[in-house]
Structure 1
């Protein structure tokens, strides 16, 4: 009985699982809050407007808060990954790259995307004026998106080395698709196909982080005394 209690209450495993738990919920919270705004904010069109535009307007604080909450959860997940992936391929770089993604979300919330494409309501159609703040938002996104895409590829290599082919393929495809989706929206000039591709990419990358965190959460085992 005492041995079972010691394993169940192992402090290190408990902390690791708690941190990974934030990784499980980071994506769902960000996506649900973003979609709730997208479907209720006046003038917002999911087929035309990037989610980052939600940071503008009277209710922009909601999306900024969403950025910060997602960032905090992602940074916690990065620490959890570092504690769970103690050795082997990607043990150092996967958590670091996820951490960079988390920091980029903070920067994305601080530096808002420029209004454009008719949003917020009353904004002229077209891409609008590019400000230094908007450029910093884009730069932060570019760094973070590249980092999380590379994290996918690093994790794919790790799983391949462990013989987990399904996880390796899933991680590699997700990273490549997300990077391509960002390239599409960055060069698509507001085209519907480009924006929807990026929406799919966002959902794919958050789903991957949740799935990876859950996988490592389940594999985390208590340390025996």
Structure 2
């Protein structure tokens, strides 16, 4: 992939992508073990948005989403024209928009969290729950498609290692998601759905952040 001159602010936009994933995962990890009554083994990551202190996870989703939208803007500047120069940024932007939506629309209380929630899944779902699920779907589809776009881009550039990495992540994400659905017992808790979805976030969010670092190193950003 050739080095490309870009506007000074482009470096900052790409850095947003490098920061977004690690920041999100760090904030989740801190909450997993400090939120009263919350058990990451049986409570879904999205449920951190509920109850006292839920605003922290709402902000975490929104900030991570906006940082990735900024990353997409940086990609738009440096990758176009060229292979993946249109769909790559658009799909990363979709990933960011999905994260933002997942923060703005909360899931339903369940599995005993927060206090007073039903012991299993709720009997009825509100519009916010539906939109939260739709936002997660946008995140997953956008990431899988972006992996395919960048796998082809790196293959065309002769970078076999990065092409295989992108392809592997693009396959792993839907496999993890399907396993989560197949193996989960949703009677009284979401195990192992909760842990598998955390693994999905770790793999997917880390890939996007690593991609940002890689593209940032490939690009000569004047003054940035």
Q: TM-score, normalised by structure 1?
A: 0.89
Instruction: Classify 1:186/1:130 alpha carbon distance in 2 versus 1 (closer, same or farther; 3 Å).
Output: farther
Match of 2:48 among 41, 50, 54: 54
RMSD: 1.7
Q: Is the 8 A contact 1:181 1:194 kept in 2?
A: no
Instruction: Classify 1:169/1:61 alpha carbon distance in 2 versus 1 (closer, same or farther; 3 Å).
Output: same
Map 1:82-161 to 2 at 5 A. 82-128=76-122, 129-161=124-156
5+ residue gaps, structure 2, are none
Q: Going by fraction, where is helix more abundant, 1 or 2?
A: 1
2: CA distance, partners of 1:193 / 1:15: 42
Give 3-state SS (helix, strand or coil) of 1:192's partner. coil
1:218 CA displacement:
0.8
Asked if 1:212 is matched to 2:207, the reply is: no
Residue in 1 that maps onto 2:163: 168
5+ residue gaps, structure 1, are 1-9
Name the count of aligned residue pairs.
213
Q: Is the 8 A contact 1:42 1:121 kept in 2?
A: no
2: CA distance, partners of 1:165 / 1:51: 34
Instruction: Classify 1:189/1:99 alpha carbon distance in 2 versus 1 (closer, same or farther; 3 Å).
Output: farther
Most deviating of 190-199 and 167-176: 190-199
1:221 CA displacement:
1.4
Instruction: Classify 1:136/1:17 alpha carbon distance in 2 versus 1 (closer, same or farther; 3 Å).
Output: same
Larger Rg, first or second structure (1 or 2): 1
